[in-house]
Amino acid sequence: MAINTSGFGAYDIRGIYPESVNQELAYRVGRIFPKLFDAKKIAIGHDIRLSGSTIADALTRGLTEAGADVYDIGQCGTEMIYFATGFNDFDGGIMVTASHNPKEYNGLKFVRKNVIPIAPKTGLLDIKAAIEDENFDWGFRKATGTVYKIDVLHDYIKKLLSYVDVKNLKPLKVVVNTGNGAAGPIINEIEKFLPFEIIKIHNNTNGFFPNGVPNPLLKESRVATSNAVIEHGADCGIAFDGDFDRCFLFDEQGNFIEGCYMVSLLAEAFLKKNPGAKIVCEPRALLSTLDIVEKLGGKAIICRSGHTYMKAVLREENAIYGGEMASHHYFRDFYYCDSGMITWLMILELLSQTDKKLSEIMADMIKNFPVSGEINTKVDSTDTVKKIMAKVEEIYAPKGVSVSKIDGVSVDFENWRFNLRGSQTEPYIRLNVESRGDKALMETKRDEILAVIRS
């Protein structure tokens, strides 16, 4: 197969199979990875995409020919590769997945020893360069590596359950939509240990995604979960993306809960158990999180969004938790990695500790800190992004109380703030606006800034 490196992105390799992600690419990655990262023991796995096992086989052949031992955990979610790598002290892990992308996509995500993510500045571009280098020294180790089929499910489930006090959980009714992705088998297993009545929808794994793309950030992908919550009178709803490193939350009325509020909920859950702990959040929408962290005596650390940045700051600060509004949630004691499974368990534990309904818990937060949600505007080039950013900054920065460029540009005013940033992976400029207790002000400023962007 032809080699095409166009799938190398900001965080991983991702593209359409077999044009840009195929067996030849996976084989070459396998041949290169052990040498670049001095990796002798490597965990691999794949999600439920139709090309997953084929790509994993080619990857395995490359890794073993390069002398590495492969520990194959089979069909799984991305966070299970993180767990397998950290729990077994492997030298690296590679997950075959395209996360929430449509069925024709596939890709590869990487971690090195100690479950440290491999990004462009920490090795991803080195992999790309080696694949493209016709004179790369492929070399062989003294012996071909061995393939071991391993099962990490028992230990993984045990780790997940360590985050909650199972005996104090209430018998809540919960709708869980796995989107025909890799989360289905894990939900089937973990429910044996929980008191919840779990109503499963789209739970059978199916790489054709017969019920739509498993991406709950898309409004059309939320309808089934919302409807099921209302139909069954559930206490809440949970929906996962394809490789279940993200989960999304719905209240008992079927309302989708914005990701920034989930960060606030998890910050509260951790600070109740760990007073004074550090919480990492991102600048897109953070007022509700800062309020909770301050009230509960924690320390908030603001970090650029993106999993490589968040994980690095968690390690540097020894922060107990970090979260993004895109619903990546990171846990210090889960190898500083993101987990969709720990997320929903902790939120349901929080719900078990109160007699309030989830909508009631959220009402004050939403009233006190209304948000626009992320509004995307498609652009034609990175130059256009730069021009728009400069124009918006020119208009608003002089009037603001403070300006931050941790991630894009954030301008804070007395009663409201906004963040504007270019996407790392798509041709979009993204706007978030929030206010302190004034929804009308937030909406006015949202429309005002959008008019500048789209002019």
- For the annotated catalytic residues, the residue numbers are 99
Question: Which SS3 state, helix, strand or coil, does residue 116 take?
Answer: strand
Cα torsion through 279, 284, 285, 291, rounded to 10: 40
Extract the tokens encoding 158.
């045990």
Q: How far apart are CA 284 and CA 317, in angstroms?
A: 20
Compute the 3-state secondary structure of the chain and give helix, strand, coil in percent, each to the nearest 5. 40, 20, 35
Q: How far apart are CA 404 and CA 331, in angstroms?
A: 26
Residue 399: name the closest of 382, 386, 389, 412 by CA.
412
Asked if omega into 18 is within 30° of 0 (cis), the reply is yes
Q: Cα 159 to the chain's mean position, in Å?
A: 19
Secondary structure of 24-58 as H, E, C letters: HHHHHHHHHHHHHHCCCEEEEEECCCCCHHHHHHH
Q: Which helix (H) or strand (E) holds 287?
A: helix 287-295
Extract the tokens encoding 35.
């040498």
Q: How far apart are CA 53 and CA 43, in angstroms?
A: 14
